Structure formats: C-alpha cells, structure tokens
Copies of this chain bind each other. A is one copy, B any other.
Amino acid sequence: METPAPGLMLDRETKASERPGDHKDELRLWLRMLTCSTLIETEIRNRLREEFKTTLPRFDLMAQLDKSSTGMTVGEVSQRLMVSNGNVTAVVAGLLADGLVDKRAATQDRRVQVLTLTAAGRKAFKAMAERHESWIAELFAGLDQPEIAQLFRLLGQTKTSLHRAIAARANEAAQGDVR
C-alpha cells in the first residue's frame, strides 16, 4: 500500500485507504447524521410540548408499553430505549402520577416491576402516535420512496458496523480486566 506524493495524486485515487490516519469522511458523515437526528428530535419535542403538553421521553416510554400487550419490566424498557434503569424509574414516576401507566410487582418474582399502559394511557398514546407518524412523514417529505429505502438499508449496515465495533471494544476491556 503506497502513498503517492501529494502533487502527483489524481482525484479518483484519493481513497481513505491511501491516506493512512485520515478519516475526515467518516467524521463529516457522523456530524451530518447528528445534525439530522438533532433537528428531528428537537422538532418532535417542540410539537409534543405544544400539541400534547408532554415530553419525548414520556412518549417513547409509552410507545414501548403500547407495543406489548402483557406489559414490560423496567429492565426491558430500559434496554429497548437504551437508557439507564434509574431513568426509566424516574420517567415512569411522572406517568404514574398522571395515571397513564400502571406498575406492579410480578407475582412469581417480586424483584420485577411490570409496567402497563392504563386505559387512559392507551387512549392518550393512540392520539399522539397518529400525529407523530404524520410529523415524521412531513419531515422526510423531500425523499422519495427509493431514497427512503436506500437510506434505510445503509443505516442498517451502519447499525451492524456499530454493534460490531462496540462489541469489539467491550471484549478488549473484558480481556484487560482478567490480565
């Protein structure tokens, strides 16, 4: 793998593999992805506050419970939402106070707290979810169906790449602990 002198390098030869240590493309990609996510999140937060006087963490938590008919434990919810257990406990406290969620210890294993939406919670979520879906569609209106499919596919590959890299790092750390 040779690195030609800068002056002689043709544009189409300027590949990452030929510029050891340079990863500006990946960095720009990440910053652009972060911009998109932040724009969407901020807009959805604003609309949830304006139209429903609620917050995104509450909406996200209710969305998880809505998908499960039998209820979910605190741990399951925290895994799905990729937040800490303590955070779930805190957000649930607010939803309990508003009567939107029910929490009860499981009968077999009393360590486990099972969370379910109340009737009021299901009703409130249904109304929000419908609006939420249309907001998202509005935000992505500038992409046609093939572009959406292609972006979805590339983000799928990204997700796989991330899981692999993160797991590799975790393994290294675990090895380090033993030595």
List residues of chain A with CB under 8 Å of any chain B CB.
Answer: 15-17, 23-30, 32-43, 82, 133-134, 136-143, 145, 147-152, 154-166, 169
Contacts and interface: CB of A to CB of B under 8 A. Distances in A.
B39 A166 contact: yes
Contact of A28 (B23, B28, B145, B152): B152
B138 A165 contact: yes
B140 A29 contact: yes
B164 A142 contact: yes
Given A164-B142, A165-B139, A26 B148 contact: yes
Given A137-B26, A139-B165, A161-B141, A155 B39 contact: no
A157 B137 contact: no
A30 B161 contact: no
B161 A23 contact: no
